[in-house]
Amino acid sequence: MKHANFIIISYVLTFGTIIGYSLRMFSRARKLDDFVKDADKPWT
């Protein structure tokens, strides 16, 4: 496949950014979870 490096980089960057952002979001949620009462979490 021609230009495989550019193509692979665009896929890795896109998926990698989504995964990285999601992991950071979950990490933040876990850190905050202990300090917040269940009453303040309407989804639980």
Partner 1 sequence: MNIFSLNSKSPTGTRTTRALGVVAILGMTLLGVLGIFLTGEDVVQGSTVRMMYMHVPTAWVAYLAFIVTAVASGAYMWGKQHSLTFDRVAGASAEVGVIFMAMSLVTGSLWGRLTWGTYWQWDPRLTTTVFLLVTYIGYLAVRGLGGTPQQRAKRSGVMALLAVLEIPLVHFSVVLWRSLHQKASVLRPNGDVTMDGLMLFTLMFGLVVFTITFAWMVLHRQRVLTLIDAFNASGIDAAVSERRKEGQVS
Interface contacts to partner 1, rule CB under 8 A:
1-4, 6-11, 13-15, 17-18, 21-23, 25-26, 28-30, 32-33, 35-37, 40-43
Residue linked to tokens 């992991």: 23
DSSP H helices, 1-44, are 4-33
As measured in angstroms, the least distance from the Cβ of 4 to partner 1 is: 8
As measured in angstroms, the least distance from the Cβ of 29 to partner 1 is: 5
As measured in angstroms, the least distance from the Cβ of 42 to partner 1 is: 8
Taking only Cα atoms into account, the Rg of the chain, rounded to an integer number of angstroms, comes to 18
